[in-house]
Amino acid sequence: MADNWIDADDRPWGRWEEYLNEPGYRVKRIIVHPGQRLSLQRHEKRSEHWVIVAGSGLFTLDDTVTEVAPGDKVFIPVRGVHRIENPGQEPLIIIETQLGICDEDDIERLEDDYGRE
């Protein structure tokens, strides 16, 4: 498969790939490796819509944890405290659409398994 992304970054939990970055919205593919999870975080300037396209996981929004699988969709409002975890054996793949001011610095990490602030 060709690398059609315009930006990408490997993280301790997996990888993200950016496919569109326009004023007011951004589209990424997020790949969470088996046994890993993103930080518990929130954003001040954007909301996010996630579509699970492969694998399965546990999605946290505020105080609610929900199992997610391919075809599931979740909405993360501005300031919604969230994370995704992959307890499975296959990569968990998410298509993420951000709406608002989509700056990579707009992450407030509340908990992080990898010591990031």
Q: Is residue 61 part of a domain?
A: no
Q: What are 19's two structure tokens?
A: 């496919």
Position 24 in a domain:
yes
Write out 13-43 in H/E/C secondary structure: CEEEEEEEEECCEEEEEEEECCCCECCEEEC
Check whether 1 has a pLDDT greater than 60: no
Domain-located, residue 33: no
How does pLDDT run across 17-47, given as a tens digit for each residue? Answer: 999 999 999 999 999 999 999 999 999 999 9
CA dist 91 to 35, 70, 79, 116, Å? 9, 12, 27, 22
Inside any domain, residue 6: yes
**Tally of domains within the chain:** 1
Determine, yes or no, domain membership for 51. no
Domain that holds residue 3: 1-28
Note the pLDDT tens digit of each residue in 48-94.
Answer: 999 999 999 999 999 999 999 999 999 999 999 999 999 999 999 99
* Residue 91 belongs to a domain: no
The per-residue pLDDT for 57 is 98
pLDDT at 4 over 90: no
7, part of any domain: yes
Query: What is the model's pLDDT at position 110?
Result: 95
Residue 2 has pLDDT above 70, yes or no: no
Residue 107 placed within a domain: no
